[in-house]
Structure 1
């Protein structure tokens, strides 16, 4: 079993969006994430935290996998759904990870994500 957790201040995402705009969005988020969450800073921050948490669970951190290799969408009931692509999917397979559980939450100030993989 592998775990990962990350916490971020939502203001960091807001200020980065103000400074870099679409360039930041395209670097970190997939087109589907941008379409669903671009106008929701709390949701973007929660997904940032989730990407960091997943990379920690993979044991490599961001850099060995691209931000966009880790995609977090909402399922039919609003639950977060994790989709791994590229290097993240390859690393998960190499580690023998077959299932992932992901939890996201945010307040007005912070977003947090926790993942468990086995």
Structure 2
């Protein structure tokens, strides 16, 4: 493929309509990239994934006990995990995945600022508080979805944040209103 035809897609690390931070691309910034950037438009997605060994969570819990639980998990998360290490590991993995989707790692975001709760259906959902909420708002994330799977040895999780530009949201709202009007006719 000719270098002029290649596209480099940009990660979601900024608000819609804001310039891409030059530091993201290393010491040479955007100028040092091998291809031109393809600006994201309309709907953008931020994804994070994590996998953790259940034994690692068990070992930390055995060493630090309640102190570990209170530092990392909210009271509701502890209750909903029902003392099962695989469930705690799943929540831990979700929190790591959320941080990856937010583009922060664990810097500047507290463990308890991300709360993984199960809805009545059993489906996991997430509530963001504090700096995690501020970061999601800064990125313009309109929705967050998470999923996790627990096995005897591993827990895996994925987090997906959705950023819809105001223009795209308006277009989608217009389509929805048009579709609703067609249904009523």
Which range, TM-score by smaller chain? over 0.9
Q: Work out the number of aligned pairs and report it.
A: 118
Q: Which has the larger radius of gyration?
A: 2
Mapping 1:16-95, distance limit 5 Å: 16-37=60-81, 39-95=83-139
User: Partner of 1:99: helix, strand, or coil?
Assistant: strand
What 5-or-longer segments of structure 1 have no aligned partner?
none
What 5-or-longer segments of structure 2 have no aligned partner?
1-44, 163-185
Provide the rounded CA distance (Å) in 1 between the counterparts of 2:134 and 2:51. Answer: 25
Q: TM-score of the superposition, structure 1-length normalised? A: 0.97
Q: TM-score of the superposition, structure 2-length normalised? A: 0.62
Provide the rounded CA distance (Å) in 2 between the counterparts of 1:98 and 1:19. Answer: 39
Segments of 4+ in structure 1 off by > 2 A? Answer: none
Instruction: Compare relative contact order (CA 8 Å, sep 6+) and give the higher one, 1 or 2.
Output: 1
Q: Please give the root-mean-square deviation of Cα atoms over the aligned residues, in Å.
A: 0.8
